[in-house]
Structure 1
Amino acid sequence: MVINGARGRVALLLLVCAAARPAFAGDGLLQNGNFEYAPDGSQMNGTRVTGPHAIPNWESTGFVEYIDSGTTQGGMVLSVPEGAHAVRLGVDSSVRQQLSVTNGSYYSVTFSAARTCAQSEKLRLSVIPGHDDDAPNELPIQTVYSTSGWDSYSWAFIAAQDGAVTLVIHHADDGVDDPACGPIIDAVAIKTLTIPNPPYSQDGSGGSKNDLLRNGGFEEGPYMIPGSAACGVLVPPMDEDAVSPLPGWMVMSYSKAVKYVDVSGTRAVELVAGVEAALVQEVETVPGADCRMEFSVGDAGDGCAAACDDDDANGNGIGMRVTAAAGEASTSVAHCSKGGRWERGVLEFKAVESRTRVVLFSAGYHTRSDGSGTLCGPVVDDVSLVCASSTPPPARRRLLRRR
């Protein structure tokens, strides 16, 4: 919607005034989170936004463009992930919005991004003021995990105060000459995270009341834009002390992600990056305790089951394979299904240290059968860990962090 004339200027003034007040950080899109409310034409130079408050509810800095769906630049059609409009962040540019938060609460931000011209585009997300030991997290977006050309990403933070904080999405300098070069951003949403504390029961999923793992069923995770459940939300790699948008779990990788998906109405994780990204959780254990880890392996029904045609040296179909490791033990579970079936994996081991890391990763690389080359992989769900001679540790405040 382009706002013109005297009435348009009044409407724009009201929108700018609304932007001066922090939005309530509930579940869903931020105010004008899909950028469908357009800048006034007087604050545009072609596609470039010329005023810092031109985009309703947002403040912009640097070379920021307001993109219409179907816009062509340099012979390339720019992809708008949701709706008819989005923004493009040039080199060293950012958009920001104030949020109303509660001190000590955990929040996950979901947004969609499409890479345009640079091969090493990275986005840096932060909140101001931030938590004492939080640093801006860089999210690499050079790998595309969908056939549409864009992906949904997630990021999380702890509120450092009551009241207003500013969410900043910044495109760092990639060393390119074109100041307009940068990713397209759309559909920015937020969700308050709730963290289940062990011991708890995963009724109906094979879990146990003495389960040491948090969020083993993956039911708590980043916000999914309605209608995008089939595409999933990427959970990027994290530093040791980063807050996770997937409570209880971290992603260990240099630049690859895992995908938070909805499979037949339940949430799970698709291991889309092979051995380059591992799903990790660390728990307190008693050295010498006998432990049993269980997990389910399936697929997302996205055509990745074509990997079932792969054969090993003996001509046996090996399908997709998930490796689980904990303590000094490991096991692999093969999955060869075209949807609707799950394999149950079991890993028995003896705890060696007072803290044990549970690790899950795809043992191979897979792409969809449609010829697009889109990365995909096996899906894991219903992960549990029970140690016979140990007592689950008490709930702690830093539930989303790994030491």
Structure 2
Amino acid sequence: MIIYKFHAGNLVKNGGFEVGPHVFKNFSTGILVLPKRQDLYSPIPGWILESLKPVKYIDSKHFNVPSGFAAVEFVGGRETAIAQIIRTVPNKFYNLTFTIGDAKNGCHGSMTVEAFAGKQTVKVPFTSQGKGWFKTASLRFQAVSDRTRITFFNPFYHTKMHDFGHMCGPVLDDVRVYPVA
């Protein structure tokens, strides 16, 4: 039995990526989730894959994820972005927090995740040794309308340490948006 973890007051739907495509119990290399232009309905509820390349849906049994059952890994380099449109109040301030890192799958190098919300953006760099390390980042933004798009983007290509033909990238998990009191 899977228990889904929801945070009261979080404006992001499925921010922990707990609901997504089926993961096989005894075998998983992750699941490539196709972009919106190829799949009309996202297999990760609440999220829009608005890029040219897929993201990889990974589970905690086979990969290192920051919290809960699953996360997404940006495997397509600069052509990989995932977004969600949330309800906001114009001119009100909000705090976006999220966790990034690596899946402990041999992916290495200097990585960056860019987050966009409203008119604000933040670039969060980190260096991966491929051993399952994570950090939390935040972005304070002001809503400009009653709907705000939050977007996460990976600007670089990455490969595994011992397999330069295998694409990999940073992991995103635990996305939250709360109004600033």
TM-score bracket for this pair, using the shorter chain length:
0.7 to 0.9
Does structure 2 conserve the Cα–Cα contact (< 8 Å) formed by 1:333 and 1:343?
no
Amino acid in structure 2 at the alignment position of 1:280: A
Determine which structure has greater relative contact order: mean sequence separation of CA pairs < 8 Å that are 6+ residues apart, divided by chain length: 2
Does structure 2 conserve the Cα–Cα contact (< 8 Å) formed by 1:259 and 1:270?
yes
Whether 1:336 aligns to 2:127 is yes
* Equivalent residue number for residue 10 of structure 2: 211
* Equivalent residue number for residue 30 of structure 2: 232
Aligned length: 171
* Equivalent residue number for residue 375 of structure 1: 167
* Equivalent residue number for residue 357 of structure 1: 149
- Higher-helix-fraction structure: 1
Question: What secondary structure is seen at the aligned counterpart in 1 of 2:128?
Answer: coil
Amino acid in structure 2 at the alignment position of 1:283: I
Amino acid in structure 2 at the alignment position of 1:279: I
Does structure 1 conserve the Cα–Cα contact (< 8 Å) formed by 2:51 and 2:82?
no
Whether 1:272 aligns to 2:63 is no
Question: What secondary structure is seen at the aligned counterpart in 2 of 1:275?
Answer: helix
Alpha-carbon offset, residue 298 of structure 1: 0.9
Superposed CA deviations along residues 213-242 of structure 1, whole A, max 9, x for unmatched, are 00000111100122333x100110014992
**Which sections of structure 1, spanning at least 5 residues, go unmatched?**
1-194, 202-208, 308-318, 390-403
Amino acid in structure 1 at the alignment position of 2:167: L
Pick closer, same or farther for the CA change 1:290–1:270 going to 2, 3 Å. Answer: same
Q: Please give the alpha-carbon distance, in whole angstroms, between the structure 1 residues aligned to 2:38 and 2:93.
A: 27
RMSD: 2.1
Q: TM-score scaled by structure 2?
A: 0.87
* Equivalent residue number for residue 245 of structure 1: 43
**1:309-348 to 2 correspondences below 5 Å:** 319-338=110-129, 339-348=131-140
Does structure 2 conserve the Cα–Cα contact (< 8 Å) formed by 1:293 and 1:384?
yes
Question: What secondary structure is seen at the aligned counterpart in 2 of 1:385?
Answer: strand
Q: Please give the alpha-carbon distance, in whole angstroms, between the structure 1 residues aligned to 2:38 and 2:95.
A: 26
The correspondence for 2:22, drawn from 223, 226, 232, is 223
Superposed CA deviations along residues 263-321 of structure 1, whole A, max 9, x for unmatched, are 3473100001122121110011111010100000111111112x1xxxxxxxxxxx211
Q: TM-score scaled by structure 1?
A: 0.40
Q: Please give the alpha-carbon distance, in whole angstroms, between the structure 2 residues aligned to 1:329 and 1:236.
A: 27
Taking only the aligned residue pairs, the percentage that are identical comes to 40
**1:52-71 to 2 correspondences below 5 Å:** none
**Which sections of structure 2, spanning at least 5 residues, go unmatched?**
none
- Higher-strand-fraction structure: 2
Does structure 2 conserve the Cα–Cα contact (< 8 Å) formed by 1:295 and 1:384?
yes
Amino acid in structure 1 at the alignment position of 2:133: R
Question: What secondary structure is seen at the aligned counterpart in 2 of 1:347?
Answer: strand
Q: Please give the alpha-carbon distance, in whole angstroms, between the structure 1 residues aligned to 2:176 and 2:156.
A: 23
Q: Please give the alpha-carbon distance, in whole angstroms, between the structure 1 residues aligned to 2:81 and 2:111.
A: 15
